[in-house]
Structure 1
């Protein structure tokens, strides 16, 4: 099912429109307020600068003060009810904004801006914590992609509409007031259709002290190293994005020679790119949480950020170009491509990270971890703003700041991927498998979503473990021949994936004994373990006799058994067909069509090595 089918589902659609309308209103209000201050009130440059610089600080302050409290609310109480209260709060805030717009009361509008910051602070933990409750595991990446796309488009449209309405002579404030109140009311109406989302930690002891609770939330966020580093990755995304977006007005004026329409164009390109990248994540990941896309996203951010510097590093010769004149200028389409691709790779980067945090964090802590993420995001946004101002003060123009941010992205990516090699391992696996094969999966719904299970599969090529890693929805521990485990480059992948090397009893009885101990320990910890009971690669394409090791494992630890079969690998890259026929092992079937079939779990008491062999043979059929 396509991710877009979620837009027709009550499980997702009302929530999607509620959050998109909220993002639109937030953007429309902020931009209308800036236009009012800058163009409608006759203020001095100093006064305009004061208000425009104070506005971001007031909006972000609630994230520091109330994120921890918001995380507790989302865990302890039913989420849909909180969403409706938040939307009623938004209606009240927009009513005050209407009075401020019409009466030109900027101090009151700054109060409303603080209120909208509170609105976003409370809604944030719910926004991402409700998705794992409403969606299936296979829908999580697609749902996050739609939310990210919807948010980007809503912010962009809100910016354009907010700017345009406020600048209508004479009636701009009235139109802006009507719009923001109307959208808030529609958003509340949409929230009435969101299905209930029960509390995940109803017995949580509420802590009203925002400072001690913030410290506790940050401790919870750090408990799982992989999750915490994913949170750091998300916060870095906001740092990078803040620097980029903050420089775009000066870049548009000084380097592109454009007017306000060109500024709108470059923001549109970045937003559309991010939305497209977010939507592509589901297709590229095969509907699983694929953190292998994160290094790809980091690479794209750096590559196209550096190219943006080289595309137009000097000052523009001509000034005041509108968007159409800019597009007709020399080299403009390179800039268009760079901005769009930076956005697209940003989508590849951030969507899998959010899905990873949601899927790896226990349900009764997701909201508080998201709250911790929001606190760190706010901190990195403030640091990014100060960093950009510091670089400006020492004479760096916008292209040079793009270059610095892109090079810093390399340092941060290396740091994160060194701390959590799983990201790089998943990237290598994703690239190898998707380069060499075209894979169709059937029956993945049969894989248990939690708890231990023993997976058994036929063994056709040296790539079998990587193919399974790239397509199983849950991480699995693979038992593999120790010589395959020690293949250069792939050793890093197998070791990071906690594969279990095994040797024959005659080769190395100590390695064999250790392997069985590790298998039992993994199953005891509730993990998936995958074995190839043939004991080696098939030499002629047929399934070899299953060895009794599988029975030994189940005798000691009776867990559910999931038979699986790989089809179409015989004769592909790194199978033994070529060596058997004394041919040079060349990629004779590059991009081979491969199928993975997953059967329903069997009780340990109902299976033997022979019965499993027969079932895997049936699953594979005639397609070797």
Structure 2
């Protein structure tokens, strides 16, 4: 049974982990700083109102996943992956230099272009990072590796949001500091990528199809031809739908129900992220080293039960007015606030139980020569589900004028039905695959 600490410090795994960590950290530092620049009107010129620009920024970052994921999967299967990663990290440095020009010239369109290019860079990196894990890890290390990856990514996202906000707040309009931060993080990512071991090429004779849309349909069709893999991809994508639905509402939930300020938003995001990291770690501890779905049902149940708990806890909060609450006010506000915080943390833990085995299953059971293209299909479905989550939330909250608690309750019911059907179909397939591997 692999020791997580030994795995984390191994020459095979550590450079890949650090490269992923710095990439996720930089993505979120840049996105958060850009959103704050837009929100607080640091540029005299505007291309639209704040809400429109924030939604446009979110769309520009996710759009490349629709367009380029399938081609990215082909490239990751055709070429040597450690070299591809280094090239992508050099591209990240170039993109951050472009962003720096945008900051100093006060050109929002340049910053938006850099955001789109960061999304594109992440799109091409995604299939590589998940396809490379089964190559650098032993079969009994795959669960541990995914647990560490998910934990590290959750912490990097959280730290990125905090760091982006902190640098913007401290700099007081001096863009040199945020520019040095994002360029420095990109450079650290490149340095760590140089230590990644050279990888075997799974499909050197593959001919890359540069017709992005045709390749996307072919990639999706291929994923659908693998019944167990397709179910796993649907399970992964549901997690992104669910997570996007909840995380997007945290700022509004904090303002309307907890009467909290921006620091209280950060507190809830921290609880959620730490919950995912803890759940990912516990998933490996309880579920064992072998790839299996033992913990997925517990995660699925938690995603439903604790969603209802969160919805219920919102009804316990007192009506307040006056100045927005600080973290200290919330911590001293009584049991009702602790119910909300506990519910958010438990949702994060449930997410860790759910997603770590699903990603390990995807990697372990994807055909070796098509593994990166399977990850690409996963990214396409994730993007579709995340956009669907935004539309779903708009319909519930804006068109039907229902409450956030109602949105959470409806999502919990859908989650119970979706994951219930998914696990009913997936469990016998996973058992059959485990039996085949055993023989």
Q: Report the TM-score, using the length of structure 2 for normalisation.
A: 0.95
Q: Is the 8 A contact 1:254 1:316 kept in 2?
A: no
CA distance in 1, matches of 2:437, 2:191: 43
Matched with 2:73 is: 71
Q: C-alpha distance in 2, partners of 1:414/1:136?
A: 31
Alignment of 1:34-73 (within 5 A): 34-39=35-40, 40-41=42-43, 47-73=49-75
Equivalent in the alignment of 1:150: 152
Q: Identify which of 317, 326, 331 aligns with 2:330.
A: 326
Bigger Cα displacement from structure 2, 8-17 vs 390-399: 390-399
Write the distance in 1 (CA, Å) between the matches of 2:149 and 2:57.
26
1:76–1:202 contact (8 Å) kept in structure 2 = yes
Q: Which of 387, 412, 417 is equivalent to 2:418?
A: 412
Q: CA RMSD of the aligned region, Å?
A: 1.8
Deviation at 1:236, TM superposition (A): 0.3
For residues 114 and 355 of structure 1, the distance between their equivalents in structure 2, rounded to whole angstroms, comes to 29
Task: Return the match for 1:90 from 71, 87, 92.
Answer: 92
Match of 1:163 in 2: 165
Aligned to 1:274: 276
Deviation of 1:333 after TM superposition, in Å, equals: 1.4
**In the aligned structure 2, how far is the partner of 1:225 from the partner of 1:327?**
48
- Could you tell me whether the CA contact under 8 Å between 1:33 and 1:101 is conserved in 2? no
- 1:475 correspondence with 2:406: no
Counterparts of 1:527 and 1:120 in 2: how far apart (Å)? Answer: 33
Return closer, same or farther for 1:218/1:45 CA change in 2, 3 Å cut-off.
closer
| Corresponding residue number in structure 2 for 1:422 | 428
Question: Following the alignment from structure 1 to structure 2, what is the Cα–Cα distance between the partners of residues 43 and 210?
Answer: 34
Counterpart for residue 21 of structure 2: 20
The residue number in structure 1 matching 2:249 is: 247
How many angstroms does 1:221 deviate by?
1.0
Unaligned runs of 5+ in 2: none
RCO comparison, higher one (Cα < 8 Å, 6+)? 2
Distance 1:301 1:307, change over 3 A: same
Q: Where do residues 316-465 of structure 1 align in structure 2 (5 Å cutoff)? A: 316-318=319-321, 320-330=324-334, 331-393=336-398, 394-422=400-428
Give the one of 251, 257, 260 matched to 1:258: 260
Return the offset for 1:315: 7.2
Contact kept, 8 Å, 2:64 with 2:119, in 1: the verdict is yes
SS of the residue aligned with 1:382? helix
Change (3 A) 1:283 1:253: same
Query: How far apart, in 2, do the equivalents of 1:170 and 1:358 lie?
Result: 45
Question: Which runs of no fewer than 5 residues in structure 1 stay unpaired?
Answer: 427-468, 477-525, 530-624
Shift of 1:38: 1.3
Cα deviation for residue 113 of structure 1 reads 0.5
1:43 shift after superposition: 7.0
User: Is the partner of 1:383 in helix, strand or coil?
Assistant: helix
Match of residue 195, structure 1, among 190, 194, 197? 197
Q: What pairs up with 1:550-589 in 2 under 5 angstroms?
A: none
2:103 alignment counterpart: 101
Q: Could you list the per-position Cα deviations for residues 240-277 of structure 1 after superposition, in whole angstroms to 9, with x for gaps in the alignment?
A: 00000111111000011100000000011100000111
Compare the two structures and name the one with the higher helix fraction: 2
Say if 1:306 and 1:406, in contact at 8 Å, map to a contact too. Answer: yes
The verdict on how the C-alpha distance between 1:43 and 1:422 changes in structure 2, with shifts beyond 3 A counting, is farther
Where 1:9 maps in the other structure, the secondary structure is coil
Shift of 1:166: 1.1
Aligned-residue offset at 1:415: 2.0
Q: 1:3 is matched with which residue?
A: 4
Partner of 1:311: 313
Distance 1:197 1:49 in 2: 44
Instruction: Report the 3-state secondary structure (helix = DSSP H, G, I; strand = E; otherwise coil) of the residue aligned with 2:209.
Output: coil
For residues 42 and 316 of structure 1, what CA distance do their matches in structure 2 show? 38
Cα deviation for residue 338 of structure 1 reads: 0.8
SS in structure 1 at match of 2:49: helix
Larger radius of gyration: 1
Structure 2 CA distance for aligned equivalents of residues 186 and 418 of structure 1: 44
8 Å CA contact 2:47–2:53 kept in 1: the answer is: no
Distance 2:270 2:183 in 1: 25
Q: CA deviation at 1:45?
A: 11
Distance 1:225 1:113 in 2: 35
| Greater percentage in strand | 1
CA distance in structure 2 between the aligned counterparts of 1:357 and 1:527, rounded to whole angstroms: 15
State the match for 1:126 in structure 2: 128
Gap change, CA 1:169 and 1:282, over 3 Å in 2: closer
Give the superposition deviation at 1:204: 1.1
Contact 2:30–2:164 under 8 Å retained in 1: yes
